[in-house]
Structure 1
Amino acid sequence: MPHGHHHHHHHDAEGGDGKLAAAVGVNMLLTVAQVIGGIVSGSLAMIADALHNFSDAASLVIAAAARRIARRPADDDMTFGYARAELVAALINLTTLIVIGLYLLYEAVFRLIEPEPVTGWLIIVIAAVALAVDLATAALTWAMSKDSVNIRAAFLHNLADAMGSLAVIVAGLLIMWFDWMWVDPVATLGIAGYILWMAFTEIGGVIRILMLGSPPDLAPDHVIATAEAVPGVKGMHHAHLWQLDEHRRMLEAHIVIAAGEWGEADAIKQAVKAEIEGVHGIGHVTLEMECAGHECPHARAVGH
């Protein structure tokens, strides 16, 4: 990962904000249409899709706000900057998805126990419109979702909606053709299951970053081995490896300069930083130097 990698998710930021604003607008209009359609038709799946569409609009508002906050420079209050605003937004949106998924599971099971009549043709018409809007909204956020877990969480809301709309269309057709009222809650169960699967797939990585976990694809002992392979380094300990956000990895550690090499300590430190950045893509490395005769006793390789 090159040192400058963290800048590229800010490119075309203003254009991205415009896309998010457009996505919010169409989702709010769709939500109103789906709620009305769901009430008139009696479709739980339609109301489930509407509820999820409303959460889409909310998630996009949160995502857009977080993007703007994340672009603020570091200051006295936030010396690391505001980049983690996007992670907080992603956590909120993914948690909301989980709550919605569990609620829909509950409602679907209740409807299976006590079925209610559903108007199939109205479901199909509104769900078809919803599918078009879902796909358009997903297209607006797809490119940005590749580089931001915040936008990816909002994108997953839209993708789940598109899948939900497809399920609602199928349910409406089966109700029209065969009068199978149980298909509506079954479709809702499918939508809920898909929502939960997507949310739980993403939320672990967000929590890991917020908990200062090491990058999942980077073992601390490999980083330590890279540092210790640099000539003049006797060892590395008290290593702390974490992610500031999705794109920036950081390391702070103590390095022990080999006996007789203290005169080259600064050069050795720079060589260690360059090697760690080149091999592991860690652009922010803070090192405390110790001479071989005064290194920390009984120091742990990782942590204190």
Structure 2
Amino acid sequence: MPHDHHGLDPKSGDRRVAAAIWANALLTVAQVAGGLFAGSLVLIADALHNFSDMASLVIAFAARRISRRPADARMTFGYGRIEIVAALVNYTTLILTGFYLISEGLMRLVDPPGVDGWIVVILGCVALVVDTLTAALTWSMQKGSVNIRALFLHNLSDALASVAVVAGGILILLYDIRWIDPALTLLIAGYILWFALREIGTPIRTLMLGSPPDLDMGAVIEEVRRVPGVRDLHHVHLWQLQEHEAALDCHIVLEEEGWPRLEAIKAEIKARLNARFGIGHSTLEIEHPQAAHPPEQEATLPERA
């Protein structure tokens, strides 16, 4: 039976995500109703954040299921990248939510409405419990998946936002500070934008076929150059095939005396790439030194030492 990268059985992970979906759905309904009744924008803001969590969980759940499909004629590399797409969608919705909350918060900061502090405190505490449990459900799963990491950070930010909601409700009850509600909304929105903009670069880099950030392209090239019989290499392309699978495509120019050992040299290159860098998918085009393709329109490669 296949397992997730975090070591959980896929069905167990799916059950955790499904439970988190239902918890966030119920919480969203309660917060929207409470926010409208109490006249609290910060509750509505937290509800919108939780609704985006629920949507993110649904997307992530679907992506997890689709990613386990085997490769076929339409998707010859498999469906693993759907989780990268899901993460990008989730971070994008967070950014849009953040900007919406900023606009609403600024308008209410000018003319703060009356707010029922008790409803804010009670629903804020309920939200804090649900958000903490949801984050706990996804904590052990997020270490090996950018898709689930987006969810975990989403839930963690919700828990922190709920702390701010409770604190705001207490201040309203004690001191009738009406402006605290829209002010906290702006703080929550700012935090949402900060961490979403910080994290969104990872799925964008992967979808743009950027080189894996944890791999040194120069070290990969030098390792191939050290294989006996290799003169040089060019047209080197290193990218993430899927989240946990790097791929390499390059042209290898052999020395004249290396041609009788062509297959052995190719096998050694692949073995070194896999052993040192975890590159399990490599496409190598072998060239004779007198018929090598010119290295045009490619990334600048380090000079041979």
More displaced 10-residue stretch of structure 1: 93-102 or 150-159? 150-159
> Residue 242 of structure 2: SS of its match in structure 1?
coil
C-alpha change, 1:232 and 1:7, in structure 2 (3 Å) is farther
Instruction: Give the deviation of 1:303 after TM superposition.
Output: 8.5
Equivalent residue number for residue 20 of structure 2? 23
Superposed counterparts of 1:215-230, under 5 Å: 215-230=212-227
Instruction: Give the deviation of 1:302 after TM superposition.
Output: 3.8
Q: 1:67 aligns with which of 64, 67, 78?
A: 64
TM-score (norm 1): 0.94
Equivalent residue number for residue 193 of structure 2? 196
Instruction: Give the deviation of 1:264 after TM superposition.
Output: 0.6
Equivalent residue number for residue 234 of structure 1? 231
Equivalent residue number for residue 87 of structure 2? 90
Instruction: Give the deviation of 1:215 after TM superposition.
Output: 0.8
Q: Does 1:33 align with 2:38?
A: no
Question: 1:221 corresponds to which letter in structure 2?
Answer: G
Equivalent residue number for residue 253 of structure 1? 250
Instruction: Give the deviation of 1:176 after TM superposition.
Output: 1.0
Equivalent residue number for residue 114 of structure 1? 111
> Residue 251 of structure 1: SS of its match in structure 2?
strand
Superposed counterparts of 1:274-285, under 5 Å: 274-285=271-282
Kept in 2: contact 1:239–1:303 (CA 8 A)? no
What does the per-residue CA deviation read over 1:248-301, in whole Å, with 9 as the maximum and x for residues that have no partner? Answer: 000011111112121011111111111122222211111011122221235566
C-alpha change, 1:44 and 1:270, in structure 2 (3 Å) is same
Q: Does 1:56 align with 2:53?
A: yes
Q: Which runs of 5+ in 2 are unaligned?
A: none
Q: 2:126 aligns with which of 121, 125, 129?
A: 129
Task: State how far apart, in whole Å, the 1-side matches of 2:55 and 2:286 are.
Answer: 49
Question: 2:262 corresponds to which letter in structure 1?
Answer: A
CA root-mean-square deviation: 1.7
Q: 2:284 aligns with which of 283, 287, 296?
A: 287
Kept in 2: contact 1:105–1:188 (CA 8 A)? yes
Instruction: Give the deviation of 1:221 after TM superposition.
Output: 2.4
Kept in 1: contact 2:114–2:178 (CA 8 A)? yes
TM-score (norm 2): 0.94
Identical columns (%)? 56
Q: Which runs of 5+ in 1 are unaligned?
A: 1-5
- State the 4+ residue runs in structure 1 displaced beyond 4 angstroms: 298-301
Kept in 2: contact 1:42–1:117 (CA 8 A)? yes
State the aligned residue count. Answer: 299
Question: 1:210 corresponds to which letter in structure 2?
Answer: L
Task: State how far apart, in whole Å, the 1-side matches of 2:145 and 2:29 are.
Answer: 29
